[in-house]
Amino acid sequence: MGNHLQPNQLSAPAIDNLLFQAERQCDVSDEQTKVRFFEFIHRMESLSTCGDDELRELWIFAPRGSIDEFADYDEYLADGEIENRQEFEELWLDLYPEELKWYRLATLRYRDIYSVAVNRKLVLQLQPESQRFDSYPKTELLDWLIAAVQQSIHLLKSGQYDAFVKQNLPHRHRVGKILRQDYWSIFPEEKEAYLAEIDPGEIILFENLISQPPENILAFRLSAMTSGLYFNACKLGYAANQYEGAEDLPAKELYLKHADGRDDGLLELDEASAEAFETWYFDRKQQGGHPWEVCRGGNSTHISLYVIHDAQGWSFRLAGSSMGRSVETVKFFLALTEQGYPVSLSDGKEILAMLKGEDYIGIVPQGVFPRYCDSFFPGEKMLTFMNLPHEKTGQVIQSAYWYPIERVQLREAPDPFASR
């Protein structure tokens, strides 16, 4: 490993401090910094692009350094951050567990705007039209970036880069997946907590329903729809999940209590009028309402009960596949089917696999929020994602499948005789 490190290279704590300051003020404005910035860009342009807007990516690295390079022990002790030398060392190794710290470097050029990101955070940007004055010098950061890029390019040219990255890049920076059953065998308490509110018999009933062709559950349509009928359908789901007020509140009041709140005028309709509902459904001027979000939550953690109309009539479609709401969604679905309502369920087979532990959890790199991560797994369907846990990490690494690390390639030199 040491053969790949440049002499007098900055250690990771010093680099992290430079990056932290750059994140707060990323503009490149003074002429001296611009010169170094374009020298850095020139180095990166020796790589092939790997995406739109001249995207180039490269793994660079820095030594952890000694504990004295991490921080001043006496200052931490005086500030009450630690109580003794052992705690100081534990803190250092917690923040810098490996001998090398790795950084995912990315450069983009959109029109004449150059952007540089390190570990998915914008640290440098040059906009020719910008009049902003940057009082924070970035030459030290650029000096390190230039040296680090040159170091990785040297490995590329010598054919050692791929093997070196594969051998040394921590799994926290990688993309993988783990079978939920295998994950539960490592963390059985999570399985117990997830399945605490659903009986095995309900899972069997759900599996029997989901295994049927969709047309069996949607064998008929309702001839008419009213807001009162919709609220009653919602009440079935609320009662199945023992929502507050489900036993004594009227259906409309339950919806008002537990739905998103942006009903888009649904609450104002005559509950018994099919004509009023139809007029509202087809002709209303939507004002950003969310009438179908019947169980409040975030963008991906709510439950929706949609009303669907087609040539055969009216039906429902239920959606709520986040892990934290999936059990509620299943119980909601069972309650509607038990009453004979025509209802389909989004991601039904995937939810069943999750309940049985037969699906995969996507593992995304450190620094990526584990939600909306489908782009990391093209062609695969996963409902949940996670970062590598800090507990029992080695067991998870051993049980998971890890995708190949994306290759970095040098840009092909132009043929000097091509135009002759």
Q: Is the pLDDT of residue 208 over 60?
A: yes
Query: What is residue 250's three-state secondary structure?
Result: coil
Strands 176-179 and 293-295: unpaired
Residue-range domain boundaries for the chain: 2-64+99-169, 177-183+358-402, 188-356
Tokens of 250: 């009227």
Is the confidence at residue 250, as pLDDT, over 60?
A: yes
d(CA 59, CA 65): 19
3-state secondary structure of 353: helix
* Closest alpha carbon to 344 in 396, 393, 304: 304
Strand ranges (E), 278-353 = 293-295, 303-310, 313-319, 343-345
Tell whether the model's pLDDT for residue 136 goes beyond 90. no
What per-residue confidence (pLDDT) applies to 134? 58
pLDDT classification of 415: cutoffs 50, 70, 90: very low
What rounded mean pLDDT belongs to the chain? 91
- What pLDDT is attached to residue 129? 72
Within its chain, how far is the Cα of 225 from the centroid? Answer: 38
Q: Cβ contacts of residue 232 below 8 Å, gap of 6+?
A: 251
Pick left, alpha or beta for residue 21 (phi over 0 → left; psi -120 to 50 → alpha; otherwise beta): alpha
Q: Enumerate the β-bridge partners of residue 368.
A: none
What number is the average pLDDT over the span 336-356?
95
| Phi, psi of 319, rounded to the nearest 5 degrees | -145, 135
Q: Could you tell me which of 247, 229, 100, 185 has the C-alpha nearest to residue 398?
A: 185
When mean pLDDT is compared across 78-87, 297-306, 340-349, 368-377, the lowest value belongs to 297-306
pLDDT at res. 261: 87
Q: What is the mean pLDDT of residues 270-275?
A: 97
The pair of three-digit structure tokens given for residue 97, joined into one six-digit string? 């567990």
pLDDT band at residue 1 using 50, 70 and 90 as cut-offs: very low
Structure tokens at 121: 């955070």
The structure's pTM equals 0.87
Of the candidates 249, 252, 257, 336, which has an alpha carbon nearest to the alpha carbon of residue 295?
A: 257
